[in-house]
Chain A
Amino acid sequence: MLGFIFKRLLQSILVMLAVAFITFGLFRFVGDPVNNMVGQDTTLEEREELREQLGLNDPFVVQFARFTANAMRGEFGQSYSLRIPVSELLRERLPATLELSIISAILALVLGMPMGIYAAIRRDSWLTKLFLTSSLVGVSLPTFLIGILLILIFGVMLRWLPTFGRGEVVYLGWWSTGLLTVSGLKALILPSITLAIFQMTLIMRLVRAEMLEVLRTDFIKFGRARGLGNRALHFRHALKNTLIPVITITGLQLGSIIAFSLITESVFQWPGMGLMFIQAIGNADIPVMAAYLVLIAFIFVAINLIVDILYVRVDPRLRVSGGKK
């Protein structure tokens, strides 16, 4: 168990180092960092001084170590295009992305689970067929098109809901939230639905498959023989046994929700990290790109590590075979 955790931890650290290496390469070898920071009228001596100050004349390994140490503290220097520290920018953008992602994840669970349970219990009803067919359409429908369609229907034609931005936000310390104002909540509706639809179809299919599996097992048959009602069988016994994989997979999906929020943010001009990253690519704003790369890699690596460890704890069979998947 300990050995397994240690191996996984080592692997996670290696991945993070590789990501750090790529971003460091971007920093160091794309354009001249000094040119990106100073204006036209800076003299050669001043540039050389800045170069020395930034440590750009140090050996490669020293520079990389310093970069990694700074990255761990969340320091990525100044944004080339906005001229403010990247850490400040991240702190400003992070709440927007997290609020959108978490609300979408909850929405996907709240809608997807009942649909999946229904599709498993009433296997041949027309509603089940509708759910399953529309889930295939949902997979073929790119996120950005869902967003555009929602904007066209609810924003342009019906004029019910705002189609860009976060609305009014309230600051709780440094955390800005749109959940406490009416305009903030209204602005959240279309983006969160857009982001939730794909995950919802995934959760629905998963719940259905797991539930069908459990309903076939002997203990359900035994329960039925004992005279338990459908309601108790389905919800007390079957559902409970489907929840574990569903929750782990949803947890694992949280990373993809944060990644996919990038597309949703672009469609709705939602001022989160994803939009920041897309704009940074356009401006070749390397510090911002680097910060996003490292952060998103960290989120994924952390989620995977936690899920892997949880799996081993929950499923003793994995412990025996040395934790090989």
Chain B
Amino acid sequence: MTINQSAEQPAERGPVADFIHRLRDHDVWYSFWHTPMAIFAAFIALVMVLSAIFAPFLAPQNPFDLAVIDLLDSNLPPSWMEEGDPRFLLGTDDQGRDILSTVLYGSRISLLVGFAAVVLSLIAGVGLGLISGYVGGRTDAIIMRIADIQLSFPSILIALLIDGIVRTIMSKESHESLALYVIIFAIAISGWVQYARTVRSSVMTEKVKEYVQAGQVIGLGSFTIMIRHILPNVLGPVFVIGTIHLALAIIIEATLSFLGVGLPPTTPSLGTLIRVGNEYLFSGEWWITIFPGLTLVVLALAVNLFGDWLRDAMNPKLQ
């Protein structure tokens, strides 16, 4: 380390500056600024994430504040239509809530569930993959068998089954307040396999390399070698899977909420809003469903496009 520093790095840098410097030297950074589609997708996704985070400041009204909602404003079409009201850009729902505001608050919850599920899944999957690849033997065989079995079922079905079973076990009152955690947990469990399999195969190629042997020789523990030395070298593909998984997690959450086994109307995600609006589709009030639906599609598409680009950019073989 000392030799390295004096030979190659002219000046000391802080860890953050160092990270930024390394990022800007990276091929992926170059590829990003030369792929208009990636910039576009990232921009859309960023705008949606930011507007979801700052929903309380951006939304014209707080759709959960009963004081500002007026039933007389219910079922108004978007403002550019004949009976529209300029106060409600995208119209109102049956309770007189501004659709733009409910969509902003809804995407906030959808993104929260998506991110939380991806992070949990990632931690579990990467951890199991590391153990499986590094320890090998019987532990590896058991973990990979379970992964194989789980992989033969679609993840949306697994999430639905876990969610359904947990719901049945809990009492009706408690699942309304715990629904958010249950759904995050269910989606997280349904997604760990991809991470585990990828990390395992990377670990298998890394663990025979010299730096790992060197670590073993100087007497580092398995845990230290796994976390400090192997982990940073196998994380690349994990971010690709994580990005694509985020889009999938948001879609799974929306689907479960649409089916009525996800989030309750008291904490509506985009899926819950679509479910509620669906009842008004036949009487012609299409905007209650279509705007949350459109937001969901644009969000998922932007994340998917970004993930597609990231996968190609991180895989030099495809270029």
A142-B251, A142-B296, A148-B289 given; A136·B168 CB < 8 A: no
Interface residues of B in 260-316 (CB under 8 A from A): 260-261, 274, 278, 281-282, 284, 286, 289-290, 293, 296-297, 300-301, 304-305, 308
A1-29 vs B, Cβ < 8 Å mask (1 yes, 0 no): 00000000001000100000010001000
Q: A30-B169, A136-B308, A156-B284 are in contact. Are A281 and B251 (CB under 8 A)?
A: no
- Nearest Cβ in chain A — how far from B138, in angstroms? 16
User: In whole angstroms, what is the CA distance A139 to B168 when docked?
Assistant: 31
Q: Which A261-308 residues have a C-beta within 8 angstroms of B? A: 262-263, 266, 277-278, 281-282, 284, 286, 289, 293, 296, 300-301, 304
Known: A22-B165, A136-B308. A263 touches B255 (CB 8 A): yes
Across-interface contacts of A136 in B (CB, < 8 A): 301, 304-305, 308
CB distance from B272 to the nearest CB of A (A): 12
> Could you tell me the distance in whole angstroms from the C-beta of B122 to the nearest C-beta in chain A?
21
A260 to B259 alpha-carbon distance, docked (Å): 12
A242 interfacial contact with B, CB 8 Å: no
Could you tell me if B258 and A144 are in contact, using CB atoms closer than 8 angstroms?
Answer: yes
Q: Chain A 182-217, CB within 8 Å of chain B: the 1/0 string?
A: 000000000000000000000000000000000000
A151: CB under 8 A from chain B?
Answer: yes
Interface residues on B, range: 35 or more
Counting from the closest, the 8 A-B pairs by CB-CB distance are A140-B301, A140-B300, A281-B164, A259-B157, A256-B154, A142-B251, A304-B152, A144-B258
In the complex, 7 of the A-B residue pairs with CB atoms within 8 angstroms, ordered by the A residue number, are: A26-B169, A136-B305, A137-B297, A143-B255, A145-B297, A256-B154, A259-B154
- Given A141-B297, A266-B258; 11 other pairs, CB 8 A cutoff: A136-B308, A140-B251, A142-B297, A142-B300, A145-B293, A148-B274, A156-B281, A256-B154, A262-B160, A289-B168, A293-B161
Chain B contacts to A: CB under 8 angstroms:
145, 148-149, 152-154, 156-157, 160-161, 164-165, 167-169, 247, 251, 254-255, 258-261, 274, 278, 281-282, 284, 286, 289-290, 293, 296-297, 300-301, 304-305, 308
